[in-house]
Amino acid sequence: MTDVPVFDARRALALAAETFQIEARALLGLAARQGDGFANSVKVMLECRGRVIVMGMGKSGHVGRKIAATLASTGTPAFFVHPAEASHGDLGMLMTGDVVLAISNSGESDELAAILPALRRLGVTLVAMTGHAESTLARLADLVISSAVDQEACPLQLAPTASTTAQMALGDALAVALLDARGFREEDFARSHPGGSLGRKLLMHVHDLMRSGDAVPRVGPASGFNELLREMTGKGLGFTAVADADGRPVGIFTDGDLRRLIERGADLRALTAADVMHPGPRLVRADALAVDAADLMEQHRITSVLVIDGDRRLVGALNSNDLMRAKVI
């Protein structure tokens, strides 16, 4: 290694391209290596009444943390246990009935080998993900998933590169097969991701965002135009609902309607809410998903909807700004 590294942009790009090609070939080669070991591993994880415990050392450990997180977020209870910490007390996290997914390209990791007898005594199902079918880990496992690759992308054949990419892809394949077998849906994913955009869209309801009580602009059909205008401007939503004596909305009046009246030169003082309202306003139930309200606004090219309860009584109002603040749209 020279004292002053020499940067060669073309060589860097050529090595990048070669890395992509090697790792792509490694991934494509995985499919032909899978069989009963993979399928039965999915089966035992699906039927597991405990948790899937993922273990791995070094780079395999980093991959294992990601696999555990992916499994957990797609309906398979899982977490990562560091093999070195396991031999110093963390084996207490495991219980009979768990499935252990042990990841090691060589299958000879000392830290994993040291706890294999203890794992057998615990009565867990041991699944090995390894690149060497004759390794210690593979021989002692109940099931083996092959992560073998023909070569690493590292030109020195030292740094785990293609092998860890293969492990990552196999973890994703396990998660996909499991979520499909469980009938895992978007709603299930949202429940474990309430802070994400999908969680907001699938878990947030209209009643979580709507204006309610005195914040909802409303007048009766017989209200004069001045009262209607005061209600609309005072509540700052750019519209007012028109509701009958039972509290059911019969119309809506918006600032757009006001502009059109002014353009026509109408005598506003003589008009009532019933004269100027737009009948048949768009309504959404309070228990509807907020994303459904957003779809309704987009479909009809409007910026506000009135919110009703199960008896069709006016209970709230929602506009596009409310949805944007909540990041639903």
- Which pLDDT score, from 0 to 100, does residue 19 have? 92
Instruction: Give the position of tokens 């003082």.
Output: 269
**In the chain, what percentage of residues exceed pLDDT 90?**
56
- Which pLDDT score, from 0 to 100, does residue 312 have? 94
**Residue-wise over 92-129: b if at least 16 C-beta within 10 A, else e?**
eebeeebbbbbbbbbbebebbbebbeebeebebbbbbb
Given a cut of 90, is residue 185 above it in pLDDT?
no
* Banded pLDDT at 141 (limits 50, 70, 90): very high
161 contacts 56 by C-beta, under 8 angstroms: no
Given a cut of 80, is residue 180 above it in pLDDT?
yes
- Which pLDDT score, from 0 to 100, does residue 105 have? 94
Burial of 4 (0-12, 13-18, 19+ CB in 10 A): exposed
- Which pLDDT score, from 0 to 100, does residue 59 have? 93
In the predicted model, what is the mean pLDDT of residues 294-320? 91
Given a cut of 80, is residue 108 above it in pLDDT?
yes
- Which pLDDT score, from 0 to 100, does residue 205 have? 86
| pLDDT per position as a tens digit, 224-273 | 998 999 998 888 888 999 999 999 999 999 988 888 888 888 788 888 99
- Which pLDDT score, from 0 to 100, does residue 188 have? 60
- Which pLDDT score, from 0 to 100, does residue 123 have? 86
- Which pLDDT score, from 0 to 100, does residue 166 have? 94
* Banded pLDDT at 200 (limits 50, 70, 90): low
Given a cut of 60, is residue 195 above it in pLDDT?
no
| pLDDT per position as a tens digit, 16-75 | 999 999 999 999 999 999 999 999 999 999 999 889 999 999 999 999 999 999 998 888
| pLDDT per position as a tens digit, 279-304 | 989 999 999 988 888 889 888 888 88
Q: Which two tokens stand for residue 212?
A: 């309610």
Given a cut of 90, is residue 182 above it in pLDDT?
no
111 contacts 55 by C-beta, under 8 angstroms: no
Given a cut of 60, is residue 15 above it in pLDDT?
yes
Domains and CATH numbers, the chain: 9-184 (3.40.50.10490), 203-325 (3.10.580.10)
- The count of C-alpha atoms lying within 13 angstroms of the C-alpha of 305, restricted to the half-sphere facing its C-beta, is 27
- Which pLDDT score, from 0 to 100, does residue 263 have? 85
User: Does the pTM of the predicted model rise above 0.85?
Assistant: no
Question: Strand, coil or helix: what is 315?
Answer: strand
Tell me how far apart the alpha carbons of residues 308 and 317 are, in angstroms, rounded to a whole number: 9
